[in-house]
Chain A
């Protein structure tokens, strides 16, 4: 056989069992474990387990001193395998493996018994129960470590290129940081322009910077950077591969305009007879069927909204479009890319308040949402920066903001979390309105004002003190429309303990943010997880907030959870740095949990071949046996479980190892 199966496992020939000397270290983890378990009893128990040469306890084995103790026992030759009973291996397995490695032991001679997350923390009051589980978990890992084999990690090359999905302020910042370090960046954006939600904002709290004044120069930087390849109006269709070598299929939606020929002169716009709703302005203003979303859009080339286009042919006339860029029958096309790392920065959707019937959004003309107010206030918006009541086109004399609409609401269809931007944007908008109309009354109905960022509390304070915005403590109960389209608000002023009723001209629902409706598709495509709120899940909420659980994929911005622009940009830099570290190193070590076929046992039935989701298994026709490519195998073990001849083993999760765990914990003989 030419391609030989790797020899990391040689069935049945593990080092002789009598040579196995296990050091068992039971961690107190402060009081997290020590406060629940009877530690002396644990030690006595540990000593009775087969092949355990020494059994010790310490307050924190992950600390330097704790690690040093294990290191010493290894160096003194007392032990040649290690079990640490402590937190989850998902937390500290790498830490302890390093201790083994740097002291001359194969790092895979290690197992960690989870007696914190899976025992003491879930049985904080049932000490006896916790003790029972902890003992069994230790028994299981001691069994496993007895059977473990020495393994070598696989080294994988990391391509020096990144795919960034979503070109809001998060994606753009990550792109610039990576490109400036010399990495190739593919920036995918599904809209015709980059910029994301920030392009729709007027000013930004708490500094009142004009949003487009700080955003558009960045957009230009992105478009000019030779290392950034913007793919606008495009979506990711499929992602294959693994860290260092992702293969990505991209769908480029038809613009119906040749993007290379279009000079962005804009002559076509006047010729187009179709006027439709402008989605960039949340349908509050008009645009033509041939359009760019806003004047500073990047890339600047035009797109035809084919759903509204009547194909009159005006724009295609050579006297209008001189370069002849219009292609009415253009089709979507596809391309593939190979990248080393991926950053997901797909941002958020605004919560839709239509189902909150007591607020009448969608029914009462003068009830609008936060982003609509943002466009209303913007000088590039439908009202050129002069907010008006939709019912009469006149500036309102009184405006009320309602906080926590759809956020901090446990009812079905809404979200228990705080959206973290609505308090501040309501204050910002109220202040902007007061600047324009000092005589107007502005009310903010709130439960708590969350002014947590730098300069935010000061901004909040000045809004009532310098601008006279009235804060009303109480979540509004209901809104009624008066015959003249003004609105009657009812609620409680909880400080007065008094039901109140107020008439206002305009109501802004401070709607929160939620995960994109297609977030689940994106997560499934990338093989990453979502938290219960729908946002993408980080590998560790505190220590690895920007890594996904899948190696090589990072996340940034609101896609990971609600946050404002400063936090989004910080995350974007963090995610870029995470990707850059991998690419600068150029290679990563991957756990060698791949599967191996024993050719002498394989009957050639081919059951396994089609099971492998990665096509890692091929059939060696000359020897009539299956072969698994260790680089392509991701180590799921599905083929192992299916082989009728028991001819496949998975490294570190072999049948022998797993069976021993089971038989030992159930008092078996093995």
Chain B
């Protein structure tokens, strides 16, 4: 006869929660009593589908969906829940930890992957819109009017530093984690 497994509905484990509580400060997350103060306080939850309390529940029960679902990415890290949680749980920090974990386990959103790719390519998460004749850019005119150089002293004016950033990404295995492709800088400039 087939053995009936006790966890019919969920695959309940400690897999995710154990990972989170490796950080001593987050150990208290297991004390969440599902009061809902966090969801009720969440400014993001009023507009989006994030239900902070449910994230906490799923994290305590280590349900994989907490990593694969979009919810953890909808938090704006405003720290309101963190401040109000009556069990003193650093809720926002738990969410950030969940994001790290999600990424490590390959649950990365395409948009986030793209941002890191841009970072790898340009050295900026949000690069300046540099067109061929940068003189025409509003921002470079503004910089000049304050007596600053046209292009800021970042990778925009030191494209060779992008290589260093890429090297760091390689050394930390960040490139593999988020599946980056390194185009050569000159190529990128074309």
Query: Nearest CB to that of B47 among chain A residues?
Result: A499
Q: Is A447's CB under 8 angstroms from B40's CB?
A: no
Q: Mark B84-102, 1 if CB is under 8 A from A, else 0.
A: 1011100000000000000
Q: Is B86's CB under 8 angstroms from A409's CB?
A: yes
Q: What's the minimum C-beta distance from A274 to chain B, rounded to whole angstroms?
A: 43
Interface size on A, residues (CB 8 A): 22
Query: Nearest CB to that of A410 among chain B residues?
Result: B88
Interface of B is mostly: loop
Q: Is B86's CB under 8 angstroms from A492's CB?
A: no
CA distance A64 to B39 in the complex (A): 57
CA distance A491 to B39 in the complex (A): 7
CA distance A411 to B37 in the complex (A): 14
CA distance A477 to B45 in the complex (A): 13
Per a CB cutoff under 8 Å, which of A411, A447, A490, A497 touches B88? A411
Q: Is A492's CB under 8 angstroms from B36's CB?
A: yes
- Give the size category of B's interface with A: 10 to 19
Q: Is A358's CB under 8 angstroms from B84's CB?
A: yes
Counting CB contacts under 8 A, is A179 at the interface?
Answer: no
Q: Which residues of A contact B54 (CB under 8 A)?
A: 497
Q: Which residues of A contact B37 (CB under 8 A)?
A: 474-477, 491-492
Knowing A358-B84, A408-B86, A475-B40, the reply to whether A447 touches B33 (Cβ < 8 A) is yes
Counting CB contacts under 8 A, is B115 at the interface?
Answer: no
CA distance A211 to B33 in the complex (A): 35
Q: Which residues of A contact B148 (CB under 8 A)?
A: none
Counting CB contacts under 8 A, is A550 at the interface?
Answer: no
Query: Nearest CB to that of A478 among chain B residues?
Result: B41
Q: Is A475's CB under 8 angstroms from B88's CB?
A: no
Knowing A477-B84, A478-B40, the reply to whether A447 touches B51 (Cβ < 8 A) is no
Q: Mark B36-73, 1 if CB is under 8 A from A, else 0.
A: 11011110011000010110000000000000000000
Counting CB contacts under 8 A, is B34 at the interface?
Answer: yes
Counting CB contacts under 8 A, is A88 at the interface?
Answer: no
Q: Is B88's CB under 8 angstroms from A494's CB?
A: no
Q: What's the minimum C-beta distance from A534 to chain B, rounded to whole angstroms?
A: 19
Q: Which residues of B contact A476 (CB under 8 A)?
A: 37, 40
CA distance A408 to B86 in the complex (A): 7
CA distance A497 to B53 in the complex (A): 8
Q: Which residues of B contact A414 (CB under 8 A)?
A: 86
Query: Nearest CB to that of A473 among chain B residues?
Result: B36
Knowing A447-B35, A497-B54, the reply to whether A411 touches B40 (Cβ < 8 A) is no
Q: Is A404's CB under 8 angstroms from B46's CB?
A: no
CA distance A103 to B88 in the complex (A): 56
CA distance A108 to B111 in the complex (A): 79
CA distance A474 to B41 in the complex (A): 11
Knowing A410-B86, A477-B84, the reply to whether A494 touches B36 (Cβ < 8 A) is yes
Q: Which residues of B contact A478 (CB under 8 A)?
A: 40-41
Q: Mark A45-66, 1 if CB is under 8 A from B, else 0.
A: 0000000000000000000000
Q: Is B40's CB under 8 angstroms from A497's CB?
A: no
CA distance A495 to B133 in the complex (A): 58
CA distance A102 to B70 in the complex (A): 74
CA distance A492 to B39 in the complex (A): 6
Query: Nearest CB to that of B40 among chain A residues?
Result: A477
CA distance A191 to B34 in the complex (A): 42
Q: What's the minimum C-beta distance from A414 to chain B, rounded to whole angstroms?
A: 8
Q: What's the minimum C-beta distance from B21 to chain A, rounded to whole angstroms?
A: 17
Q: What's the minimum C-beta distance from A71 to chain B, rounded to whole angstroms?
A: 48
CA distance A476 to B37 in the complex (A): 6
Q: What's the minimum C-beta distance from A149 to chain B, rounded to whole angstroms?
A: 50
Q: Which residues of B contact A473 (CB under 8 A)?
A: 36
Q: Is B36's CB under 8 angstroms from A475's CB?
A: yes
Interface centre among B33, B34, B42, B45, by most chain A C-beta atoms within 10 angstroms, is B34
Q: Is A491's CB under 8 angstroms from B86's CB?
A: no
Q: Which residues of A contact B87 (CB under 8 A)?
A: 410
Q: Is B35's CB under 8 angstroms from A475's CB?
A: yes
Q: What's the minimum C-beta distance from A444 to chain B, rounded to whole angstroms?
A: 14
CA distance A411 to B54 in the complex (A): 22
Q: Is B86's CB under 8 angstroms from A411's CB?
A: yes
Q: Which residues of A contact B34 (CB under 8 A)?
A: 447, 494
CA distance A473 to B35 in the complex (A): 8
Per a CB cutoff under 8 Å, which of B41, B51, B84, B86 touches A497? B51
Per a CB cutoff under 8 Å, which of A409, A410, A499 touches B40? A499
Q: Is B45's CB under 8 angstroms from A499's CB?
A: yes
Q: Is B88's CB under 8 angstroms from A474's CB?
A: no
Q: What's the minimum C-beta distance from A439 to chain B, rounded to whole angstroms?
A: 28
Q: What's the minimum C-beta distance from B90 to chain A, rounded to whole angstroms?
A: 12
Q: What's the minimum C-beta distance from A412 to chain B, rounded to whole angstroms?
A: 9
Q: Is A474's CB under 8 angstroms from B42's CB?
A: no
CA distance A296 to B147 in the complex (A): 82
Q: Mark A299-329, 1 if CB is under 8 A from B, else 0.
A: 0000000000000000000000000000000
Q: What's the minimum C-beta distance from A487 to chain B, rounded to whole angstroms?
A: 15
Q: Mark A477-500, 1 if CB is under 8 A from B, else 0.
A: 110000000000011111001011
Q: Mark A347-384, 1 if CB is under 8 A from B, else 0.
A: 00000000000100000000000000000000000000
Q: Which residues of A contact B51 (CB under 8 A)?
A: 492, 497
Q: Is B86's CB under 8 angstroms from A494's CB?
A: no
Q: Is A475's CB under 8 angstroms from B39's CB?
A: no
Q: Is B41's CB under 8 angstroms from A477's CB?
A: yes
CA distance A411 to B88 in the complex (A): 6
Q: Is B40's CB under 8 angstroms from A492's CB?
A: yes
**Which residues of A from 483 to 519 have beta carbons under 8 Å from B?**
490-494, 497, 499-500
Query: Nearest CB to that of A406 among chain B residues?
Result: B86
Q: Which residues of B contact A409 (CB under 8 A)?
A: 86
Q: Which residues of B contact A500 (CB under 8 A)?
A: 40
CA distance A491 to B81 in the complex (A): 12
Per a CB cutoff under 8 Å, which of A358, A404, A447, A494 touches B39? A494
16 contacts between A and B (CB under 8 A): A409-B86, A410-B86, A447-B34, A474-B35, A476-B37, A476-B40, A477-B37, A477-B41, A478-B40, A478-B41, A490-B40, A491-B40, A492-B53, A493-B36, A494-B34, A500-B40
Interchain residue pairs A-B with the least CB separation, the first 8: A477-B40, A492-B36, A474-B36, A491-B40, A475-B35, A492-B39, A477-B41, A409-B86
- List residues of chain B with CB under 8 Å of any chain A CB: 33-37, 39-42, 45-46, 51, 53-54, 84, 86-88
Known interface pairs A474-B37, A497-B53, A500-B40; 12 further A-B residue pairs with C-beta atoms within 8 A, sorted by A's residue number: A404-B86, A409-B86, A410-B86, A410-B88, A447-B33, A474-B40, A477-B36, A477-B37, A477-B40, A492-B39, A492-B51, A494-B39
